[in-house]
Amino acid sequence: MDRTYLDLYRSGELGRRAEVLEARLASCDICPRECHVNRIENERGFCRSGYLPIVSSCCDHHGEEPAISGTRGTGAIFFGNCSMRCVYCQNHQISQDPGRRASEEMDFHTLAERMIYLQDELRCHSISFVSPSHFVPQMVRAILEAVPLGLRVPLVYNTNAYDSVAILQLLDGIVDVYLPDLKYASDVWAARLSHCADYVAHSREAILEMYRQVGSRLELDDSGVAQRGLIVRHLVLPNGLAGSRESLIWLAREVSPEVTVSIMSQYYPAHLAPGLPLLCCTVTAAEYAEVLEVAGDLGMENGWIQEMDAAASYLPHFERDGHPFLAQHL
């Protein structure tokens, strides 16, 4: 299957979009916060990020959904920093510690070479950009440099869904698989738990744009690996804080009951959550079963669910040497 981003490269459109996106960094409006700092001159706004991408890890990741991980894993590129501040973030070591991140800035050609290494040497099925919302121009610039080096696998955009629709429109034809979270149905809880008081509208508009680009049907190759489409993740939080029922109802009605969903039980009280009464526990079997029942009642049959012991299997560790998901390789 020929990649659309390869066609965009050959026509010159990929280079044009890279230039358009990079120009927007001069008064940054890449994410919905629209801080309007000059990131080309390394001014920093909410995401605490300047011009060069911060790359905290490049690895073969085998713990994603089966259609993403396949048998050889996806080539995960974990960007540092974030446009949100989730108090329970499992990646807080790289998303909320800007002092450590400056040493992980990476030039575009080196990032392109890492992508080729993941594709050719580790034989990953795809390249997944994890937490890319605040680094979209840098991501596209690296893709532009990677194509003449031989990049050809599907590109996955793994996001918290706090994305600008205008920026997503510039990714049309570049991204093959969108993998957004649908975190909250309430801006009150989004503000309290993620410092993001306008999350609901922005995430829903973003997911609708992703759906417009790639549809709801997940296209798989003969090995069952995703080549194009949309997978919406929903992490069930304890005490109903995610608003799971309302989010799934919206997804079924406004996107499609046929959309592929990943309903996750893997919540673990990481980062600041152990000190917060409503978040200091894992999700109960009853809470998770209730969400699955809602999905079933809505006719949402495409996707994946997790076992109740999933939390222990998916915790990353970005401060040790080697692979951040060591448990997947034992």
Residue 221 is predicted with a pLDDT of 97
Q: What are the structural domain ranges in the chain?
A: 4-42+50-329
Q: What is the mean pLDDT of residues 248-272?
A: 97
Residue 327 is predicted with a pLDDT of 47
pLDDT of 3 over the 90 cut: no
What whole-number distance in Å separates Cα of residue 66 and Cα of residue 54?
Answer: 27
User: 301 burial class (0-12, 13-18, 19+ CB within 10 angstroms)?
Assistant: exposed
Per-residue model confidence as pLDDT tens digits over 154-179: 999 999 999 999 999 999 999 999 99
pLDDT of 246 over the 80 cut: yes
What whole-number distance in Å separates Cα of residue 231 and Cα of residue 217?
Answer: 9
What whole-number distance in Å separates Cα of residue 299 and Cα of residue 38?
Answer: 47
Residue 308 is predicted with a pLDDT of 87
- Rounded to 10 degrees, the C-alpha dihedral 30/35/39/44 comes to -130
Per-residue model confidence as pLDDT tens digits over 173-222: 999 999 999 999 999 999 999 999 999 999 999 999 999 999 999 999 99
CATH homologous superfamily for the domain 4-42+50-329: Aldolase class I (3.20.20.70)
C-alpha pair distances (Å), 108 with each of 18, 70, 78: 12, 27, 15
The set of residues, in sequence order, having a beta carbon less than 8 Å from that of 212 and lying 6+ positions away, is none
Residue 317 is predicted with a pLDDT of 63
Cα angle vertex 94, ends 93, 96, to 5°? 75
CA atoms within 13 A on the CB side of 128: 28
Gyration radius from the chain CA atoms: 19
The set of residues, in sequence order, having a beta carbon less than 8 Å from that of 300 and lying 6+ positions away, is 248, 251, 252, 257, 259, 261
Confidence of residue 79 (pLDDT cuts 50, 70, 90): very high
Q: What is the mean pLDDT of the chain?
A: 94
Residue 100 is predicted with a pLDDT of 55
3-class SS letters over the chain:
CCCHHHHHHHHCHHHHHHHHHHHHHHHCCCCCCCCCCCHHHCCCCCCCCCCCCEEEEEEEECCCCHHHHCCCCEEEEEECCCCCCCCCCCCHHHHCCHHHHHHHECCHHHHHHHHHHHHHHCCCCCEEEECCHHHHHHHHHHHHHHHHHCCCCCEEEEECCCCCHHHHHCCCCCCCEEEEECCCCCHHHHHHHHCCCCHHHHHHHHHHHHHHHHCCCCEECCCCCEEEEEEEEEECCHHHCCCHHHHHHHHHHHHCCCCEEEEECCCCCCCCHHHCCCCCCCCCHHHHHHHHHHHHHCCCCCEEECCCCHHHHCCCCCCCCCCCCHHHHC
pLDDT of 250 over the 60 cut: yes
Per-residue model confidence as pLDDT tens digits over 261-320: 999 999 999 999 999 999 999 999 999 999 999 999 999 999 999 998 876 666 666 665
Confidence of residue 12 (pLDDT cuts 50, 70, 90): very high
Q: What is the mean pLDDT of residues 22-32?
A: 98
pLDDT of 62 over the 90 cut: yes
* Residue 277 tokens, joined: 């009464």
* Residue 124 tokens, joined: 């990953």
Q: What is the mean pLDDT of residues 224-239?
A: 98
Nearest to 151 by CA among 75, 58, 93: 75
pLDDT of 326 over the 60 cut: no
